[in-house]
């Protein structure tokens, strides 16, 4: 019998950002997510990013499209991205 690895048992967690057109649509994403997937919890960290199982990304993207939101992988090093955004004007506003 094959032993399962930690990632096979726990699932691979991915840090994501969820950005709505505005605060209403950002909140609408979470309402829809809880309605469509009540057994799946997106855990928010101190930086405002969310942890989701990698297997959920297709569903996360689907709910984001329904609620006019954009989902991206959160940066591993947010300070580096802030630094790059300061060097390249309008880089973070797309």
CATH number given to 12-93: 3.30.70.120
Burial class (CB in 10 A: 0-12, 13-18, 19+), 90: exposed
Report the percent of the chain where pLDDT is more than 90: 56
The pLDDT assigned to 2 comes to 43
Name which residue leads in pLDDT, 93 or 67.
67
The vertex-62 CA angle with 79 and 77, nearest 5°, equals 10
Which pLDDT value is given to residue 86? 74
Residues forming a β-bridge with 69: 20
pLDDT digit string (tens) for 14-71?
A: 999 999 999 999 999 999 999 999 999 999 988 889 999 999 999 999 999 999 999 9
The model's pTM: 0.70
């Amino acid at each position: 019998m094959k032993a399962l690895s930690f990632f096979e048992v726990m699932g691979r967690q991915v840090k994501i950002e969820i950005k709505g057109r505005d605060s209403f649509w950002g909140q609408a994403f979470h309402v829809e997510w809880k309605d469509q997937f009540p057994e799946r919890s997106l855990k928010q960290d101190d930086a405002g990013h969310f942890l989701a199982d990698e297997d959920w990304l297709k569903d996360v993207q689907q709910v984001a499209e329904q609620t006019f939101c954009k989902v991206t992988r959160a940066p591993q090093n947010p300070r580096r991205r802030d630094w790059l955004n300061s060097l390249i004007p309008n880089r973070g506003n797309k």
